[in-house]
Amino acid sequence: MTNEAARLRLLYDVGCAFAAQRDLDELIPLVIEKCRAVLQAEGAAVLLLDQSRQELRFPYVADQDADVAERLAELRIPPDRGIAGAVLASGNALRIDEPTGDPRFNPDVDRTTGFTTRNLIAAPLQTRTGSLGVIEVINRRGGSAFTDDDVDLLGALAASIAVALENATLWARLNASAEQLRAEVGVLRRDLAHRDRFGDMIGTGPAMSEVFRLMESAAASPITVLIEGETGTGKELVARGIHTGSPRASAPFVAVNCAAVPEALLESELFGHRRGSFTGATQDQRGLFEAASGGTVLLDEVGEMAPAMQAKLLRVLQEGEIMPIGERRPRPVDVRVVSATNRDLVAEARAGRFRDDLYFRLSAFPIHVPPLRERRLDIPALADRFLAEAADRHRKHIPGIAPAALDLLVGFGWPGNLRELRNEIERAVALARDGETIAPGHLSTKLSGVGTTDDVEEPAPAEAARRTSSDLRDARTAFEMDFVAKVLREHKGNRSHAARALGISRVALQKKLKDYGLS
């Protein structure tokens, strides 16, 4: 095939390819490789203008030296420097036969790559809305210079590439909007399903007053917050309160439990993935960081994160950008990161299980949430709140809690904190009859150490006969709820271990936790 025929064939193939293909990450590398071959050049590259950062980058490079291509991919240059900057500013193609003698030539690129530019041609990627970047072809093989015909061919290719880039950008925006909506709907559904039933936070004592003071300061600032406290103290409520009081309140709040997501899936869950990047990735998926754009991401149980993920999270915090699995270029993200942990991360860092640099990034503003045993004055109000919610779920009218039962609630140590108190009230409501006040006999024996039911009024024989089956069902449910909660506590919230101890599958345990309001 003659050189002229090869050029015409290239233009025809490019036009057909752009008409049929919207995935530029696959298409443009093929185009510039063909362009390099037809123009008999050592290298070719597309430089794109990043308007937000005001820099030119090299996302697409074809070079006979793979090391040069790799160094170029990492390079960023100001858009007003070099031959590319001149082409971008003028909107006209250029042919430079001796770049080193041209005042517009930027030698920093050659110094960075170790490459020597002997001659080049460059053309702008122009669209109706402005310049997207530049296409360059470097060093004609054989020692000869490029010709005016080469410049014309490159200009024709540049016009096709620019239109394809513009169309692909519009298509990507439409897809991104659709994916964003799908992701946000999924987040909202999950948020509704997992939203803590505490409602607004309750606390009047000095310990919680300090928490509220710190929350108010954190909400007014973009600072990174680390919420520390025992399991069940309401750390997610603190994070949600900070988000609600911040300028990001109208954007999504997304919580992810780092301990609950398998290590192999956590990266995809947080940062997303490209179709085909791993087995089972049948379509592109946006991660939670992008779903929470403009809002807040809570990384619960961040101390459970594997070392490899810790390094990737640190990069996100430092650079403000994520790298979805299978992507070659990072994506900027605008989210506030709040973390929560029940571990001593200082001790974890000393033991080498948690990165020091990540800890310092996350703990710029620590908030310690006190355990329930340190805020006993709040227990009556919390118990009333949980009682109202539980009675509504069980469709019972429960007038209140007897003083003797309340004394037991206030005096107990609550190792499981708010979650354990809520479970205890749920169990008591399940045992109580409609219209009956919660008495000590409705509470589990761990609170008093005895299993008396002296304070519970016995029903009349006829009424007892009528209610025997429902009472037995409630009692069995209450016992199972109490037992499941106890086993879960013994295994420190690890659901896989608790399921094995109970002799049931993890899925069955998840269903029980959901049914009993323990999730």
Q: In the listed set 370, 399, 428, which residue is the last one of a domain according to the structure?
A: 370
Q: Are residues 475 and 493 in the same domain?
A: yes
pTM: 0.54
Find the range with the poorest average confidence among 11-15, 54-58, 94-98: 11-15
Residues 6+ apart with CB under 8 A from 516: 423, 426, 477, 480, 481, 484, 485
The span from the CA of 200 to the CA of 218, in Å, is 18
How much is the pLDDT for 81? Answer: 84
pLDDT, tens digit (0-9, with 9 covering 90-100), for 98-114:
888 888 888 888 888 88
Q: Are residues 160 and 206 in the same domain?
A: no
Task: Using the predicted structure, report yes or no on whether residue 313 has a pLDDT greater than 50.
Answer: yes
How much is the pLDDT for 174? Answer: 78
Top-confidence range, 117-121, 241-245, 337-341: 337-341
Angle, helices 307-319/263-271, rounded to nearest 10 degrees = 10
Find the range with the poorest average confidence among 22-36, 93-107, 120-134, 339-353: 22-36
Q: Is residue 306 part of a domain?
A: yes
pLDDT, tens digit (0-9, with 9 covering 90-100), for 249-308:
888 999 999 988 888 789 888 998 777 777 777 777 888 898 888 999 999 999 999 999
- Write the secondary structure of 204-262 as one string of H (helix), E (strand) and C (coil): CCHHHHHHHHHHHHHHCCCCCEEEECCCCCCHHHHHHHHHHCCCCCCCCEEEEECCCCC
How much is the pLDDT for 341? Answer: 95
Which is higher by pLDDT, 421 or 199? Answer: 421
Q: Are residues 140 and 167 in the same domain?
A: yes
Q: Are residues 12 and 143 in the same domain?
A: yes
The span from the CA of 31 to the CA of 60, in Å, is 10
Q: Are residues 215 and 111 in the same domain?
A: no
| Mean pLDDT score, 420-444 | 93
Q: Is residue 184 part of a domain?
A: no
The span from the CA of 12 to the CA of 6, in Å, is 10
Q: Are residues 235 and 331 in the same domain?
A: yes
Q: Is residue 481 part of a domain?
A: yes
Q: Are residues 148 and 12 in the same domain?
A: yes
Q: What average pLDDT does the structure give for the chain?
A: 82
Containing H/E element for 61? strand 55-63
How much is the pLDDT for 193? Answer: 42
Which is higher by pLDDT, 111 or 339? Answer: 339
How much is the pLDDT for 20? Answer: 56
| Residue/partner pairs of 308-311 with CB below 8 Å, 24 or more apart | 309/258, 309/263, 309/266, 309/267, 310/354, 310/355, 310/358, 311/355, 311/358
Q: Are residues 379 and 364 in the same domain?
A: no
How much is the pLDDT for 23? Answer: 63
The span from the CA of 376 to the CA of 413, in Å, is 9
The CATH number given to whatever domain includes residue 488 is 1.10.8.60
Q: Are 168 and 28 in contact (CB under 8 A)?
A: no
Find the range with the poorest average confidence among 5-9, 47-51, 274-278: 5-9
Closest by Cα among 336, 327, 359, 147 to 246: 336
DSSP state of 379: H
* CB neighbours of residue 432 within 10 Å: 25
The tally of domains found in the chain comes to 3
Q: 3-state DSSP call for residue 179?
A: helix
The CATH number given to whatever domain includes residue 71 is 3.30.450.40
The CATH number given to whatever domain includes residue 320 is 3.40.50.300
Top-confidence range, 29-43, 159-173, 457-471: 29-43
Q: Is residue 183 part of a domain?
A: no
pLDDT, tens digit (0-9, with 9 covering 90-100), for 448-500:
764 434 444 444 444 444 444 445 556 667 777 877 888 887 777 788 878 77
Containing H/E element for 341? strand 336-341
How much is the pLDDT for 458? Answer: 43
Find the range with the poorest average confidence among 127-136, 163-172, 196-205: 196-205
Q: Is residue 189 part of a domain?
A: no
Task: Using the predicted structure, report yes or no on whether residue 393 has a pLDDT greater than 80.
Answer: yes
How much is the pLDDT for 11? Answer: 64
| Mean pLDDT score, 64-82 | 79
Q: Is residue 34 part of a domain?
A: yes
Task: Using the predicted structure, report yes or no on whether residue 13 has a pLDDT greater than 70.
Answer: no
Q: Are 251 and 295 in contact (CB under 8 A)?
A: yes
Task: Using the predicted structure, report yes or no on whether residue 439 has a pLDDT greater than 50.
Answer: yes
Q: Are 410 and 446 in contact (CB under 8 A)?
A: no
How much is the pLDDT for 200? Answer: 61
Q: Are residues 214 and 313 in the same domain?
A: yes
Q: Is residue 463 part of a domain?
A: yes
Q: In the listed set 332, 351, 370, which residue is the last one of a domain according to the structure?
A: 370
Q: Are residues 160 and 271 in the same domain?
A: no
Q: Is residue 29 part of a domain?
A: yes
Q: Are residues 147 and 296 in the same domain?
A: no
Provide the β-strand partners of residue 338: 225, 298
Residue numbers of the domain that contains 215: 195-370
CA atoms within 13 A on the CB side of 302: 33
Task: Using the predicted structure, report yes or no on whether residue 146 has a pLDDT greater than 60.
Answer: yes
Top-confidence range, 4-8, 38-42, 340-344: 340-344
Which is higher by pLDDT, 197 or 56? Answer: 56
The span from the CA of 203 to the CA of 517, in Å, is 22
Q: 3-state DSSP call for residue 8?
A: helix
What's the pLDDT band for 330 if we cut at 50, 70, 90? confident
How much is the pLDDT for 198? Answer: 34
Q: In the listed set 325, 345, 370, which residue is the last one of a domain according to the structure?
A: 370
Q: Are residues 306 and 240 in the same domain?
A: yes
